[in-house]
């Protein structure tokens, strides 16, 4: 394993290289090679560090939001799907040490494995360099994710509030197609009010497409 290549991708050079190697060691590799440890303990710690940094950022950024909304936003930002996307940005799957069987069954592209390794790397950075090192690293990923989630929630909630001004209104989001290859899809959505299309939108994810459609509807419905 060439740790230096991965260190270049994350922008941090470890003082203790063994910490990074452990963070990249999946249990299947440890079992095959009879190693005493894998990355599961680091993943446990990384989950807490990630959660704290995210919570602190949301607490300071959204000063008027209640606890419930902050909790839901944090959950959306640090869910497995989000962590997998973060990990893809640094090609983390390519660097994980895993057993032959796990690799042959697509382990390098399995969200559960890759997202756990992402958290393990966070823990390794925290142990090696402290919060001053790992906090900017985490924020580099979550700030954009927070913006996407907030935009999505704001447009959909605003549209919902608008249509509730009249009783009996029914709102429905519907996927109408997708374009592009699997690794770069664009999803197309419409939003219907009482069965009639009132907005259209597209995005790299279904959430973004729904948000776009809701925004289009708001422009048309709010005079």
Give catalytic residue positions: 47, 119
**What would the 3-class secondary structure string for 130-159 be?**
CHHHHHHHHHHHHHHHHHHHHHHHHHHHHH
Per-residue burial over 34-69, b if 16 or more Cβ lie within 10 Å, else e, is eeeebbeebbebbbebbbebbeebbeeeeeeeeeee
Question: Considering only CA atoms, which of 136, 97, 134 is closest in space to residue 119?
Answer: 134
Tokens matching residue 74: 């944090």
Q: What is the dihedral of CA 66, 67, 69, 71, to 10 degrees?
A: 160
Question: Considering only CA atoms, which of 95, 67, 111, 102 is closest in space to residue 10?
Answer: 95
Q: Which residues pair with 196 in a beta bridge?
A: 193
Q: How far apart are CA 32 and CA 176, in angstroms?
A: 47
Secondary structure element (H or E) that encloses residue 189, with its range? strand 186-193
Q: How far is CA 169 from the centre of its chain?
A: 33
Q: How far apart are CA 102 and CA 111, in angstroms?
A: 13
């Amino acid at each position: 394993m060439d740790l230096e290549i991965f260190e270049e991708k994350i922008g941090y050079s470890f003082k203790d290289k063994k910490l990074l190697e452990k963070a990249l060691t999946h249990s299947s590799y440890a079992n095959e090679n009879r190693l005493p440890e894998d990355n599961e303990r680091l993943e446990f710690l990384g989950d807490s560090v990630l959660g704290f940094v995210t919570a602190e950022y949301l607490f300071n950024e959204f000063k008027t939001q209640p606890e419930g909304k902050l909790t839901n936003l944090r959950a959306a930002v640090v869910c497995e799907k989000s962590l997998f996307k973060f990990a893809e940005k640094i090609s983390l799957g390519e660097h994980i040490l895993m057993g032959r069987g796990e690799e042959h069954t697509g382990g390098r592209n399995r969200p559960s494995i890759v997202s756990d390794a992402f958290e393990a790397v966070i823990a390794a950075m925290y142990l090696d360099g402290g919060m001053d090192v790992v906090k900017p690293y985490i924020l580099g990923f979550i700030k954009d994710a927070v913006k996407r989630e907030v935009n999505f929630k704001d447009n959909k909630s605003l549209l919902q509030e608008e249509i509730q001004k009249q009783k009996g209104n029914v709102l429905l989001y519907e996927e109408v197609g997708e374009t592009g290859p699997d690794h770069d899809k664009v999803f197309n959505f419409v939003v219907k009010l009482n069965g009639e299309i009132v907005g259209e939108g597209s995005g790299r994810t279904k959430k973004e497409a729904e948000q776009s459609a809701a925004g289009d509807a708001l422009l048309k419905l709010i005079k």
